[in-house]
Amino acid sequence: MDITKEYIEKCKKAQDIQKLRVNGYEWGDYYFYFNDYDICIENPRNFTEISTSKEITRLIIGRDNHIWLPCQDQLQNMLKTLEWFWSDKNASEMLDSVYYMFTCCTNDNGFNCTEYCNKFNSFEQLWLAFVMKEKYNKQWNFETKEWEKI
């Protein structure tokens, strides 16, 4: 799981993704938060003293300083609504689709996906970029450090 400063920043600025957790977090989510004393990465699965996700949700709802850090499987699940990606494909065929999208495409403006993707440092960052591109038509600008409409 990527818990680097870079991934946290990309997640924080991916407001389209953050809105998916506006009513609280789900069991197993990773999130980043800070307070006056600590900077923490938490995963409720590791909270042995708390037994239900409902209790965890109550702990963190309404705190603006919490940033959801989606795992790779959560990012992949966000693409289930894209028929070309999921419909009747086995894992190998899905990987082929992802490989094509990240290595073989160049858009009309000469945007090279291979060069873009080589700048990401983890699979979570790569999948986040893929979700932002496919669902929200945005790409990460490495200079301004913002998600921008394509």
Tens of pLDDT along 8-40? 899 999 999 999 886 777 777 888 776 554 555
Give residue 54's identity as a one-letter amino acid code.
K
**Based on C-alpha coordinates, what's the Rg of the chain?**
17
Q: Which of 18, 74, 2, 8 is nearest to 39 (CA)?
A: 8
Do residues 66 and 32 make contact, with C-beta atoms less than 8 angstroms apart?
A: yes
Q: Are residues 77 and 25 in the same domain?
A: no
Distance of CA 60 to the CA centre of its chain: 19
- Residue 114 phi/psi, 5° resolution? -60, -50
Is the pLDDT score of 125 beyond 80? yes
Q: Are residues 66 and 78 in the same domain?
A: no
Q: Are residues 45 and 79 in the same domain?
A: no
Task: Give me the pLDDT at residue 16, please.
Answer: 95
Helices (H), the chain: 5-13, 15-18, 53-60, 72-77, 83-86, 91-103, 113-117, 123-136
- Domain interval for residue 29: 5-71
* pLDDT tens-digit series, residues 67-111: 889 998 899 888 887 776 666 667 777 777 777 666 655 555 556
Q: Which of 71, 91, 108 is the last residue of a domain?
A: 71
* pLDDT tens-digit series, residues 47-69: 433 333 343 333 443 345 678 89
Q: Are residues 36 and 87 in the same domain?
A: no
The fraction of the chain above a pLDDT of 70, given in percent, is: 63
pTM value?
A: 0.75
Averaged pLDDT score across all residues of the chain:
74
Q: Are residues 66 and 92 in the same domain?
A: no
Task: Give me the pLDDT at residue 56, please.
Answer: 39
Do residues 139 and 150 make contact, with C-beta atoms less than 8 angstroms apart?
A: yes
Report how far residue 42's alpha carbon sits from residue 59's, in angstroms, rounded to the nearest whole number: 12
Q: Are strands 30-34 and 66-69 parallel, antiparallel or unpaired?
A: antiparallel
Q: Are residues 23 and 65 in the same domain?
A: yes
Task: Please tell me the total count of domains within the chain.
Answer: 2
